[in-house]
Structure 1
Amino acid sequence: MTAWTDSAQPALSTMYRLQWEETQQCHVLLFPEGMVRLNMPAAEILRRCDGRTAVADLVADLERTFGEADLHADVLEFLEQARGRQWIR
């Protein structure tokens, strides 16, 4: 069970920076001790975690952008994992 609500506004934790890494040909999370390579779905979700966008809007944007339906549960599961890794707050 997730603690995220549709009105929650997840934000990237301040110790991480999301960016495209040309040499890796993927988005990465940079932090003082290193780097985390992200797959495309993870990067797309984290790009939308700006502290202003509600979870419901984030999911709707992903569904619209990728022409997919029913992403809500998958996004919530990722958000829980990302919070557990302290990538987002």
Structure 2
Amino acid sequence: MESADIPALPRGVRLHRDRVRDTWVLLAPERAITLDIVGHAILSEVDGARSFAEITGALAERFNAPIEQIQKDSAGFLEALRNRRFLDVVS
């Protein structure tokens, strides 16, 4: 994922709090992914307006972590979601 890419949840995909299981899930038509703390942190920053660089910068500041590590982890996670059609990316 490039710095200028803008990740966004496509129509019909949403972040949802599963109160029964006390966890966050990414819901899509007839599909769902249970998110861990890291996945939820990344997706909570995806708003369809900010670039990958802005999102990872915010995460690095929020968690006081090295930006390079945040970028590496976030890129892998978001690319996996993109490959499974849970995420759109505007270049």
User: TM-score, structure 1 length as denominator?
Assistant: 0.87
Listed as ranges, the matches of 1:40-79 within 5 Å are 40-69=37-66, 70=68, 71-79=70-78
CA distance in 2, matches of 1:51, 1:43: 16
**Match in the other structure for 2:83:** 84
**More strand, by proportion:** 2
Query: What residue ranges of structure 2 are gaps of 5+ in the alignment?
Result: none
CA RMSD after TM alignment: 1.2
CA distance in 2, matches of 1:10, 1:26: 23
Listed as ranges, the matches of 1:28-39 within 5 Å are 28-39=25-36
CA shift in 2, pair 1:23/1:17, >3 Å: same
CA distance in 1, matches of 2:10, 2:47: 10
Q: Aligned to 1:10, what secondary structure does the other structure show?
A: strand
Identity across aligned pairs (percent)? 28
Instruction: Give 1:26 deviation, angstroms.
Output: 1.2
Query: Quick check: 1:9 aligned with 2:6?
Result: yes
CA shift in 2, pair 1:36/1:8, >3 Å: same
Amino acid at match of 2:76: E
CA distance in 2, matches of 1:78, 1:36: 12
CA shift in 2, pair 1:79/1:34, >3 Å: closer
Kept in 1: contact 2:28–2:86 (CA 8 A): no
